Amino acid sequence: MSFARCRDMLPAGLETTKKMSNPDLPTYLYVLPILGIVAWYIRRHNRLERTSLEAVKAAMEAGMIGKKARLIGPSDCIGHGACKTVRSVNAITLVFGTATRGIDLPVVKPNFETDMPGIFIAGELGGMGLIRNAIEQGRQAMESIGQLLADGHNNELDLLIVGAGPAGFSATLAAKVDNLKVVTVEQEELGGTVAHFPRRKLVMTQPAELPIIGKTTFKEVQKEDLIDFWRGVEKKTGIAINYDERVDEIVPAEGGAGYRVTTNRAQYDTRAVLLSIGRRGSPRQLGVPGEDLPKVTYRLIDPEQYRDLHVLVVGGGDSALEAATSIAEEAGTTVTLSYRSGAFSRAKQKNREKIAAMSRAKRVQVVLNSNVREILDDSVVIALGDKLARIRNDAVIISAGGILPTGFLQKIGIKVETKWGSE
């Protein structure tokens, strides 16, 4: 940038005023610091612009924008439609699922409350699978619950939290800060869905802020390290989580506000309930012959167990691409990735790039626009258009997502809507 251009950007009269204030000092002693600030601002602006343009390019390559308004941060959406609710000018259109496969979503208000007063939903169940955002949702939901509890009640508990994943763990910490009478139940182990991720999976790439603890210092963390960190927080803060306790029934309390929650261990009388359970407890199945064979599974835990095997991975999301690439890195494996669409539009850019590189290196055979027709003991049959191909196979991993526990929610009285999109 030239000196003349920087000088022209100064407020009118500034140079003259400075000269008049102390005529004994050279003009450049006043001007140079201001020029430095202007130059810093321009460099910062250009850097932010380049970052935004790169984000736009990545989003367009993922097929999320097309010819419509350019969305810079699609992952920032909180997931359950509150952004659409608060923006009443029809600037946002929510599209879920496809024309042939809908997605069930519970109806949740912007304050995370369902149509059942006093029952709230946060995290993956409401559509937010990102760990950092789920943690934030757990904290925000507690703010809404705090407003509800401010009116007072006669129930034994203030709150029952169902699930100790990212949202439930964050909410449990926030409840301790507010000195609430709370019980947290988890039917499996700390971390919820995160605990079932593959070994050494990178699960967080940005710091998160936990109640009591504050902002975490790590920027990238693997599954095992994150679970260990949460265990340390659990021990340090003294929060109590009832593991191996499953909720069987939630019904309105008799003669007043709140709910009676029945588990496999106890019965609780609580004013509010926060559901922070995952969606993957019931994996989405293909519904094809042979899917009940022992070699078929719905999540990857340890890639090493597939060494020297012929493996088929089905799906086009991040979990499918990560499973395929991690297995392909094991010695002697032959990996085929089958996806019903023509592009991996739902997966992160880095996963798309990695699977493309492995495909070029012939370490993963990518079969797009394909559907599994049958699973046999030693092979699988895949449809490619109007043709059928039979390939050798020792193991099948179906990563087609999870099915919302619709029956459980509807039994409680929570409204669930099926959203349909387009291909």
> For 279-299, how does the pLDDT look when each residue is reduced to its tens digit (9 = 90+)?
665 688 899 999 999 999 988
Q: State the pLDDT at residue 335.
A: 97
CA distance 103 to 203: 24
CA distance 370 to 375: 14
Q: How confident is the model at residue 205 (pLDDT cuts 50, 70, 90)?
A: low
Angle subtended at Cα 403 by Cα 398 and Cα 407, rounded to the nearest 5 degrees = 150
CA distance 161 to 186: 9
Query: For the chain, how far is it from start to end, CA to CA, in angstroms?
Result: 49
Q: Please report the DSSP string for 178-192 in residue order.
A: TT--EEEEESS-TTG
- Provide the residue type at 293 as one letter: L
Tens-place pLDDT, residues 234-257:
999 999 999 999 999 999 998 878
Range in 102-106, 158-162, 333-337, 418-422 the model is least confident about: 418-422
137 Cβ contact partners less than 8 Å away, ≥ 6 residues apart: 78, 112, 122, 123, 126, 128, 167, 170
Of residues 30 and 33, the one with the higher pLDDT is 33
- 3-class SS of residue 137: helix
Q: State the pLDDT at residue 80.
A: 47
- Provide the residue type at 272 as one letter: A
DSSP-H helix ranges across 22-130: 28-61, 82-86
Of residues 217 and 378, the one with the higher pLDDT is 378
CB-based contact 111:144 (threshold 8 Å): yes
Angle subtended at Cα 80 by Cα 351 and Cα 117, rounded to the nearest 5 degrees = 150
Tens-place pLDDT, residues 295-311:
999 888 889 999 999 99
CA Rg, the chain, in Å?
27
CB-based contact 371:290 (threshold 8 Å): no
Structure tokens at 10: 């100064």
Query: Which of 242-245's residues contact partners 24+ apart within 8 Å by CB, and which partners?
Result: 242/183, 242/184, 242/185, 242/186, 243/164, 243/186, 243/188, 243/189, 243/190, 244/186, 244/187, 244/188, 245/185, 245/186, 245/187
How many Cα atoms sit within 13 Å of 275 on the Cβ side?
Answer: 28
- Mean pLDDT estimate for the chain: 81
Widest pairwise Cα distance in the chain = 93
249 alpha-carbon distance from chain centroid: 27
- Provide the residue type at 275 as one letter: L
Structure tokens at 313: 């991975």
Burial class (CB within 10 angstroms; exposed 0-12, middle 13-18, buried 19+) of 202: middle
Domain 77-282+404-419 shares a fold with domain 296-398 = yes
Angle subtended at Cα 105 by Cα 284 and Cα 416, rounded to the nearest 5 degrees = 110
Q: Strands across the sheet with 387-392, in order?
A: 370-375, 379-384, 387-392
CA distance 155 to 273: 12
Tens-place pLDDT, residues 130-166:
788 889 999 999 999 999 999 999 999 999 999 999 9
pTM score over 0.75: no
Domain locations along the chain: 3-61, 77-282+404-419, 296-398
The domain over range 296-398 is classified in CATH as 3.40.50.300:
no
Q: State the pLDDT at residue 171.
A: 96
- In b/e form, how buried is each residue of 214-253, taking b as 16+ CB within 10 angstroms? eebeeeebbbeebbebbeebbeebebebeeebebeebebb
The domain over range 77-282+404-419 is classified in CATH as 3.40.50.1110:
no
- For the cut 90, the answer to whether the pLDDT of residue 69 exceeds it is no
If we measure between CA atoms, which residue out of 303, 285, 178, 186 comes closest to residue 240? 186
CA distance 208 to 210: 7
